[in-house]
Homo-oligomer: A and B are copies of this chain.
């Protein structure tokens, strides 16, 4: 079996950076395809394809406006993601088991070893 379809999930849909950018732009309001494509430096077919994925998972909506098709944000599908990730909130400060101390140790150690921050 291959990887799950990008359209199977909002999780999969937003795994693609360009789609995230599209969603970001759409916060500013509805926009036609060509507009988005131009602003994001992608070709029109690419934009259309990404928008198709986003539409299939319900993250955007289309509205016909004469020659154009205005895409608008429908962020409701992002909520479950926010909640799932939020379930880890108390872990990304003091990560690991009860290894908060471990992190502290690492910090101290790296500070002592080198003055510059080696984190990525």
Measured CB to CB, the residues of A under 8 A from B are 3-4, 6, 9, 11-12, 14-17, 20, 23-24, 27, 29-30, 61, 72-79, 81-82, 84-89, 91-92, 95-99
Contact = CB atoms under 8 A, between A and B. Distances in A.
Contacts of A72: 95-97, 99
Most B CB contacts (10 A, CB to CB) among A15, A17, A27 go to A15
Q: How many copies does the complex hold?
A: 2
A88 B24 CA distance: 8
Contact of A74 (B73, B96, B98): B96
Contacts of A12: 15
Contacts of A79: 92
Contact of A3 (B6, B73, B98): B6
Contacts of A16: 3-4
B73 A78 contact: no
